[in-house]
């Protein structure tokens, strides 16, 4: 579910100094998301950050999670899509946490390095498996610094709230679940499948005890012999009729043409 946009900055606020003193001050801006859990159960959430031109760079960013009053530093987790990174966070029942994504000032040099990344944030419910409500407050917070004397040690702060995708702080999250239905294809018996079935049955016969195998094969032999005997008898009968020039249908069994005509009249 979409939350808001975000913008990470580490750069001068103007491209040149200009005629205004200290107008070339540096700004360090990060994304701050406050998450409140008003439910009676703990939550497991996943945030997804998407950025393009330029993409997010793990070497230039750092994450901070403050759920229990202690800052936990870390990095985003890459996904197969190079534009997307995730961050998992757990919020206890009736508790509030803060998630921060900002340029990594511990490794970047503001005099040399610049960061300017824009994108959007999504949130997903991982637990529980039921829809819940959360309160989300996204913000941009920044710090202005200057290398000019005598205010090199002077800091100014910038804080402003971001509009949310829903237009409010209340978000109804639903579990991410797919309706997976088992699809059983219709199996039609073909000539090949029938032959395979017969072949399988013949192989299964080989696994039976020797006495059972001999009995089954004896029954099969008797059936074949009976069928052949019937066929031979039929052939003999046909041969005898042909030898005596006896028709297959006797003359007595044939209706007379004249009788048929009279009957029809």
pLDDT of residue 156: 80
Residue that the structure tokens 């994108």 belong to: 119
Write down the pTM of the prediction. Answer: 0.65
Q: 2-15+23-173 belongs to which CATH class?
A: mainly beta
pLDDT of residue 204: 54
pLDDT at 242 over 70: no
- Percent pLDDT > 90 in the chain is 50
Phi-psi region of 228 (alpha: psi -120 to 50; beta: other; left: phi over 0): alpha
Over residues 87-105, mean pLDDT: 97
pLDDT of residue 223: 66
| Lowest mean pLDDT segment, chosen from 40-54, 115-129, 237-251 | 237-251
Per residue in 178-226, pLDDT tens?
533 434 444 455 555 565 556 555 555 455 555 555 655 666 666 666 7
CA distance 70 to 162: 25
pLDDT of residue 261: 44
pLDDT at 241 over 80: no
pLDDT at 126 over 90: yes
Domain ranges in the chain? 2-15+23-173, 191-249
Per residue in 127-175, pLDDT tens?
999 999 999 999 999 998 776 555 555 668 889 999 999 999 999 999 9
User: DSSP string covering the chain, please?
Assistant: -EEEEEEEEEEESSSS-TTSTTTT-EEEEEEEEEEEE-SSS-EEEEEEEEE-SSPP-GGGEEEEEESSSSEEEE-PEE-SSTTEEEEEEEE-TTEEEEEEEEE-TTT--TTT--EEEEEEEEEEEEESSS-EEEEEEEEEEEEEE--STT-TT--EEEEEEPPPSSSSSEEEE-B---------PPP---HHHHHHHHHHHHHHHHTS-HHHHHHHHHHHHHHHHHHHHHHHHHHHHHHHHHHTT--SS-GGGSPPHHHHHHHH-
- What is the rounded end-to-end Cα distance, in angstroms, of the chain? 91
Per residue in 28-83, pLDDT tens?
999 999 999 999 999 999 999 999 999 999 999 999 999 988 999 999 999 999 99
90's tokens: 């757990």
pLDDT at 253 over 70: no
pLDDT at 6 over 90: yes
Contact 78, 85 (CB under 8 A): yes
């Amino acid at each position: 579910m979409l939350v808001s946009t975000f913008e990470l900055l580490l750069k001068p606020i103007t491209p040149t100094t200009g005629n205004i003193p200290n107008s070339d001050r540096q700004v360090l801006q990060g994304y701050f998301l406050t998450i409140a859990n008003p439910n009676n159960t703990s939550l497991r959430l996943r945030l997804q950050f998407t950025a393009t031109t330029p993409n997010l760079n793990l070497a230039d960013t750092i994450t901070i999670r403050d759920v229990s009053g202690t800052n936990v530093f870390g990095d985003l987790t890459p996904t197969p899509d190079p534009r997307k990174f995730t961050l998992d966070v757990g919020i206890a029942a009736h508790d509030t946490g803060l998630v921060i994504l900002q340029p990594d000032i511990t490794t970047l040099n503001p005099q040399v390095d610049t960061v300017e990344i824009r994108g959007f944030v999504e949130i997903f419910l991982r637990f529980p498996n039921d829809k819940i409500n959360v309160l989300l407050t996204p913000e941009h917070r920044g710090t202005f610094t200057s290398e000019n004397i005598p205010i090199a040690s002077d800091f100014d702060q910038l804080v402003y709230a971001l509009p949310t995708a829903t237009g409010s702080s209340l978000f109804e999250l639903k579990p991410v679940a797919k309706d997976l239905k088992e699809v059983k294809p219709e199996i039609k018996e073909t000539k090949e499948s029938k032959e395979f079935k017969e072949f399988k049955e013949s192989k299964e016969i080989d696994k039976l005890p020797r006495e059972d195998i001999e009995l089954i094969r004896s029954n099969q032999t008797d059936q074949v012999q009976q069928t052949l005997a019937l066929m031979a008898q039929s052939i003999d009968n046909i041969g005898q009729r042909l030898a005596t020039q006896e028709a297959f249908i006797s003359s007595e069994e044939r209706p007379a043409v004249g009788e048929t005509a009279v009957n029809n009249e």
